[in-house]
Structure 1
Amino acid sequence: MSCPALFLDRDGVVNIDHGYVGTPDRFQFMDHIFDLTRTAMDQGYRVVVITNQSGIARGYYSEEEFLALTAWMVDEFRARGVELADVLYCPYHRAGPVERFARDSFWRKPAPGMILEAARRHDLDLARSIFVGDQPTDMQAAQAAGVGLRILVDPNKKAAETKTANHVVGRLSEIVPILTGLSPNFPGNSC
């Protein structure tokens, strides 16, 4: 049986976006991220992080440094009772000076490649899934992939583009009631 997922962008949703965060000393978790992800798991969602990481292509940090940071992040979630089903990342950016990563990619949001790959790997039901992001490109990727509920985190609630988002919230704590208030027919609450 296909499972619903809670897809999370990383910078600006999982952690405060300090700009090209590539090491644990610059990684600061967002308030309420663990409450949100635990609630999602309790509701039967698999939690998946979907992140553009052009900092690799731009040479701000190496892919190895990113992978080490990701392993640390996964351990931090696990220590708080949250199992991440997967972390998918796109290291590519056409303008990056690191030749190996200087190209376009179907995985780079707003393209839906990472979401579609996660669905393939984990047998996810995208129509019953949720994507939480802080950029219009997150919402565009989620819509293109067929994610049923798209939530844009915008602290000022003045998003320039909301037509691809179903909800706009100011902070993560506002998502927990949305999750718990969904009709059982939307998420299925089982996996």
Structure 2
Amino acid sequence: MKKAIFFDRDGTLNEEVHFLHKIADFVWTEGAIEAIKFCNDHNYLAIVITNQSGVARGYYPEEDIMKLHQWMNDQLKGHGAHLDGIYYCPHHPEGIIGKYALKCNCRKPLPGMLLRAEKDFDIDMAKSYLIGDGARDVECAEAAGVKGIRYTGGNLYQALMDGMKEN
């Protein structure tokens, strides 16, 4: 079985931008690339899990999310790093786009995205971590049997190292 570090996206890997979907608005947080490279260099899968309710709300199409995530991996390649997986939840029960306007098990704090990644990659959840800026991220981690690390700003790599020592 493999171990993973799951990353929340908005407010963790990138600076918080409300309903981020444009590459031009994306800014890596300090230490984000180094945190991902740490995963790659130390036998952890680097996996993003992110709520993207802007799709259900009609603010942008799923294609924008996919383009942004491809761009992120392209940027990481230039640093000798990569994301192994990216999972997103386009749903929201109050959405206006019919097929996305629903309750689901993948919207954090529910653990659906983590559980899907566990199956897809054969992950040992007890040896894995999730780092995110919201209480719902830590709640999601706990629901999936993963150690949660609350990121409160600053250098993401350092926050990950400190959080892994504590857990």
**TM band (smaller chain):** over 0.9
TM-score (norm 2): 0.93
Letter matched to residue 47 of structure 2? V
Residue in structure 1 matched with residue 13 of structure 2 by the alignment: 14
5+ residue gaps, structure 1, are 156-169, 187-191
Residue in structure 1 matched with residue 102 of structure 2 by the alignment: 103
- Label 1:108 to 1:17 Cα distance change in 2 as closer, same or farther (>3 A): same
- Matched pairs, number: 167
Query: What is the percentage of aligned positions where both structures have the same residue?
Result: 35
Letter matched to residue 112 of structure 1? P
Per-residue displacement from partner, 1:7-48 (whole Å, max 9, x unpaired)? 000001111111100010111111100111112222210100
- Is 1:151 aligned to 2:166, yes or no? no
Deviation at 1:173, TM superposition (A): 3.7
Per-residue displacement from partner, 1:63-91 (whole Å, max 9, x unpaired)? 11111111111211222111211000000
5+ residue gaps, structure 2, are none
Name segments (4+ residues, structure 1) moved above 2 Å: 173-182
- Is 1:42 aligned to 2:41, yes or no? yes
Report 1:37-116 matches (<5 A).
37-116=36-115
How large is the Cα RMSD of the aligned pairs?
1.7
Structure exhibiting the larger radius of gyration computed from Cα positions: 1
Query: How far, CA to CA, are the matches of 1:139 and 1:176 in structure 2?
Result: 13
> 1:15 is paired with a residue of what secondary structure?
coil
Deviation at 1:175, TM superposition (A): 2.7
> 1:54 is paired with a residue of what secondary structure?
coil
Residue in structure 2 matched with residue 124 of structure 1 by the alignment: 123
